[in-house]
Each structure stands twice: as C-alpha cells, then as structure tokens.
Amino acid sequence: MSPLNKQQLDQIRDERKEQIKQAALKIFACRGITGTKMSMIASEAGISEGLIYRYFKSKDELFTDLVIELMEEAGKEIGNLQHSPESPFDQIRTLTQSMLDENNKYAFRLILQARKADKVPEKVGQFLDQYSEKVLIDRLVPVLIKGQQAGQFSEGDPRELLSWYFTVVNSLIMQELGIEKYGLPDTDVLMRILSR
C-alpha cells in the first residue's frame, strides 16, 4: 500500500549488489574478464542484464571493484598472520591452506586473473603490481628467516625462495578445479619446496 521505506530499500540494494558480486566473482574467477559475458553474470545472479548497470557502471568497473575489495580483504588476512603465535612453518602452512581452500579460491583466482587481463584499469594495476611482492613476500620474509634459523626451511635467499613458492601456489590457484584425478597437491607436499 505504501512505498518501501528508505531502510528497506537500502537493504534491497545492498543485497542485490552483493548478489551480483557473488555471481560475478564466480564467473570472472573461472573465465577471466574477456571470457565472461554480462549475460552469464545476470543469469547466474538470476536477474536481467540491464539491472547490473544500476549497480555498476560497466563490466570493467564491476571487475575492478571486485578485485580491489578482495585484495584488501586478502591483505588484511595476511596481515593478521604476523601476530599469530604459530611457528614460522605453521604460519606459512596455514596461509597456504587458506589460499588453496575452496572458499577463498575464487577470490585469489580473481586477483590473479586480473594480472593476466589485457587492459587492467589503472586503479587495479597499481594494486596488482605490488600484490605478491608487497602483500605476500615482504610480510613473510621475516617469518621465513626465523624459520630458517630454526632449521625448518632450506638455506638460500629468502625473497627468492618465497617468490618461487608463491609462484607455485598462485599458479595452482589458477588451475581449473577438479581436472586432476588426485586434486591439488597436499599442502605438506607443497611445502617441501621450502624445505631443505
């Protein structure tokens, strides 16, 4: 009888926006930005194509917003790691598992998709350039060194070792899911890369 009030409308908008983001994340992560059609996102979200444009100015903006948001979340999560009471080995183990976990995988894949995109919007580009370097490696160098001193990791340039390790982890995240009969490697097996 009466129009919805402001609060209710805000809630609807928030829900829709989240719904679109979830759908977009799922498709973008699997197929990259060019491989994703707006119609796929709309259909995944169960809405019409046109509606997406009431929430995001363009496909590019949707992609960009998503990537930035997820990178900020990922950054925070990794930041928390530093205050963890775990041993260096277990810290990296936990991080690795969280990166390869089904639940987070879409997010990390999206970030990595962004790195491959042809013309990444400027704003994303800046984040991306420093993603592995700043967000992952810089923060983990002290952890790795501590672990080396404790004899948990192999000797050698810590930056190089970490760069190689996360090159592997990142590339695994990008793998299509469920192709391999045995799935993704066990974390402990992966971490042998860091061992002596």
Residues that bind a second copy (CB under 8 A): 32, 34-35, 115-116, 118, 132-133, 154, 159-161, 163-165, 167-168, 170-172, 174-176, 179-182, 184-186, 189-190, 192-193, 195
CB 191 within 8 A of CB 162: no
53 binds, among a second copy, DNA, none (CB under 5 to 8 A by kind): DNA
Alpha-carbon distance 99 to 34, whole Å? 24
Alpha-carbon distance 141 to 133, whole Å? 10
CB 57 within 8 A of CB 84: no
Question: By C-beta, is 49 or 157 nearer to DNA?
Answer: 49
Q: Please, which of residues 47-86 interact with DNA by CB under 7 A?
A: 47-51, 53-54, 57-60
By CB under 7 A, is residue 4 in contact with DNA? yes
What is Dmax (Cα atoms) for the chain? 73
At residue 107, φ and ψ (nearest 5 deg) are -60, -50
Alpha-helical regions (H) of 82-157? 88-100, 102-116, 122-129, 139-149
Least gap, CB of 83 to a second copy (angstroms):
27
182 binds, among DNA, a second copy, none (CB under 5 to 8 A by kind): a second copy
By CB under 7 A, is residue 193 in contact with DNA? no
By CB under 7 A, is residue 11 in contact with DNA? no
By CB under 7 A, is residue 36 in contact with DNA? yes
- Specify the 3-state DSSP secondary structure of 90: helix
Binding site for DNA (CB under 7 A): 1-4, 6, 9, 12-13, 16, 36-39, 47-51, 53-54, 57-60
